[in-house]
Chain A
Amino acid sequence: MTWQQVVDDFKTWARVNSPWVVHFNTGSCNGCDIEILATLTPRYDLERFGVKLEGSPRHGDVLICTGPVTLQARDRLLRVYEQMPEPKFVIAVGSCAISGGVFQGCYNIIGHVDEVLPVDVYIPGCPPRPEAIIDGVVKLLGHLKDPAPQANIEEAN
């Protein structure tokens, strides 16, 4: 094992054990947002995976987006994403973030998050249950542990 490998393994270990998430509402109805909060509170307790909700995008590892991206929120979403340090990951929560959901055809929305940002994990549901959100986050952490599937995603993008 080379020195570089040791350093990379250490970084991955640290990343998997404490992903800090930044939450940005890109025009959702609040349903997904309150479910994300419910996921962080005692019943579901996402913090046992080391996940911490962080206010500043400059400290974040994972961006959680909810809602169809509205035209006004798009620029802010890009700014928040660009402020985050590399490597960064995006989770799209809810039907709206995936496809526009019930708001398809509204004049002020772009439709889905992956038209603006590269998305790593999609969590469907209107809104997704907290269990589904936990599953999505754990899947993302699994990807971080094993970089091969992550490489596939990058190729696909």
Chain B
Amino acid sequence: MNTVPERFVVPIGPQHPALKEPGHFEFTVDGEQVTAASVRLGYAHRGIEKATEGRNWVQNLYLLERICGICSHIHATAYCLGVEKLAGVTAPPRAQAIRVVVAELERIHSHLLWLGVAAHEAGFDTLFMYSWRDRETVMDILEALTGNRVNYSANLLGGVKFDMTPELQDMILKGLEFLEQRTHDYVAVVTTDATLLQRTRGVGVTSREQVEELGLIGPTARASGALRDLRVESPYAAYADFPIVPVTATEGDLEARFVVRLKELFESYRLIRLILEKLPEGELQARMPRKIKPAETISRVEAPRGELFYFIKSNGTDQPERIKVRTPTLCNLASVCILAVGSQLADVPMILAGVDPCFSCNDRAVSIHSTKLGEKQWTWAQLRQYGIDYYRR
């Protein structure tokens, strides 16, 4: 008889019932215990960064918004802030405040969406349906504000596209009142429901040290006690005038991640009300030049999932020389492979959902195993040949 324990690999994805996005995972299991995990990404890699070099500054705004449909506004905000910095233009205060209002509304929609998806992973479909029903309230607000439910296109280079009318303000306040009351219910559910707590309390614990080691960001890091929030650390747009109070927890388990994200919602409701009350008067858009002189800059904003980073380089024409995007999922995804090892296979979907992964955001880089050629650095010709060989069928 064979005495060596057999390795059994459970492949998951890229088409799988749990997540709505393509990602391929391989979990090696011993019984129910996961002993190794690996991830294969790139199913949603479209080549956006290269495509930006062939489009002008205005066209890129709409392309970059479609990096991710969930956090589209924050991608456009990061891009606009960067390009405005390059051109030496500052958007008027009213435009900056409206940007923050839309960004916080987007955070509300994204966190409610995540609550539903995470509850679905835990097998708690009732919470999934409730949270998605309530999410329609914020979708209605976003639609009334911008005219579209997803990919709002609220930003323009140098400002925003629409004004905040008194009727819209009334609608937003009414919607927020309903959502605030519902969020209180959700906090009660995720902290007291015994069935859900069995799936979340003490599962996937990330220590404060691991946050530093793995470079985690966003709500995932804040649930482990690390204060990482760019809205506080380096305020952009109108966050300097309207500061937020960061939410953190110390436990680092999945329950803490639920609680941190839900408590952030209250902070968003408070901030939106404050901004609507003290909305600065003035213009909506500053004048932007068509061409931008050669320079380079970085732009960092806090997306719903963590820090979003843009590097933008101009070359004097109406098109960018290079745009590099680093999205929060890239930083957080590594933690899944570490945390999954040693846990039960049934907990793995929850651990994965716990970082709120977004593969559409993430899949802009192709990782190459350097062992194939035995070299760390590749020339352009080698890289090109690798690409041609890889996709030749």
A residues neighboring B (CB under 8 Å):
22-38, 41-43, 53-57, 67-68, 70-73, 76, 80, 101-103, 105-109, 126-127, 129
Complex partner residue of B68 from A29, A56, A109, A127, CB under 8 angstroms: A29
CB neighbours of B249 from chain A (8 A): none
Complex partner residue of B45 from A28, A72, A101, CB under 8 angstroms: A72
Q: List 5 extra interface pairs beyond A29-B72, A38-B135, A129-B149, CB under 8 A.
A: A34-B70, A34-B150, A38-B139, A72-B43, A103-B51
Does the CB pair A76–B15 fall under 8 Å? yes
A37 and B20 contact, Cβ closer than 8 Å, known pairs A68-B46, A70-B46, A129-B149: yes
Does the CB pair A25–B150 fall under 8 Å? no
CB neighbours of B68 from chain A (8 A): 29-30
Does the CB pair A73–B14 fall under 8 Å? yes
Does the CB pair A29–B360 fall under 8 Å? yes
- A145 CB to closest chain B CB (Å) equals 28
- A70 CB to closest chain B CB (Å) equals 6
Secondary structure at the A interface, as helix, strand, loop or mixed, is mixed
Q: Which of B59-67, B315-323, B370-378 contacts A (4 or more CB under 8 A)?
A: B59-67
B residues neighboring A (CB under 8 Å):
14-18, 20-22, 42-48, 50-51, 54, 62-63, 66-70, 72, 113, 116, 128-129, 132-133, 135-136, 139, 149-151, 358, 360, 363, 391
Does the CB pair A27–B44 fall under 8 Å? yes
A127 and B43 contact, Cβ closer than 8 Å, known pairs A25-B22, A42-B133, A102-B63: no
Does the CB pair A31–B47 fall under 8 Å? no
Number of A-B residue pairs with CB-CB distance less than 8 Å in the complex they form: 127
CB neighbours of B129 from chain A (8 A): 41-42
Give the CA-CA distance A37 to B70 in the complex, in Å. Answer: 13
Does the CB pair B43–A73 fall under 8 Å? yes
Does the CB pair A107–B50 fall under 8 Å? yes
Complex partner residue of A28 from B16, B44, B47, B63, CB under 8 angstroms: B44
Task: List 5 A-B pairs, minimum CB-CB distance, nearest first.
Answer: A55-B17, A31-B69, A41-B132, A30-B69, A106-B47
A105 and B54 contact, Cβ closer than 8 Å, known pairs A30-B360, A31-B69: yes
Give the CA-CA distance A132 to B159 in the complex, in Å. Answer: 31
Give the CA-CA distance A129 to B142 in the complex, in Å. Answer: 13
- B272 CB to closest chain A CB (Å) equals 21
Does the CB pair B43–A27 fall under 8 Å? yes
CB neighbours of A126 from chain B (8 A): 66, 151
CB neighbours of B15 from chain A (8 A): 22, 24, 57, 76, 80
Q: Which of A101, A102, A127 has its CB near the most chain B CB atoms (within 10 A)?
A: A102
Give the CA-CA distance A54 to B17 in the complex, in Å. Answer: 7
Closest to A96 in B: B66
Q: Which of A30, A33, A126 has its CB near the most chain B CB atoms (within 10 A)?
A: A30
CB neighbours of B45 from chain A (8 A): 27, 70, 72, 108
- A83 CB to closest chain B CB (Å) equals 9
Does the CB pair B149–A29 fall under 8 Å? no
Q: Which of A43, A72, A73 has its CB near the most chain B CB atoms (within 10 A)?
A: A72
CB neighbours of B44 from chain A (8 A): 25, 27-28, 67, 70, 73
Give the CA-CA distance A22 to B46 in the complex, in Å. Answer: 22
Does the CB pair A107–B136 fall under 8 Å? no
Give the CA-CA distance A72 to B150 in the complex, in Å. Answer: 26
CB neighbours of B18 from chain A (8 A): 55
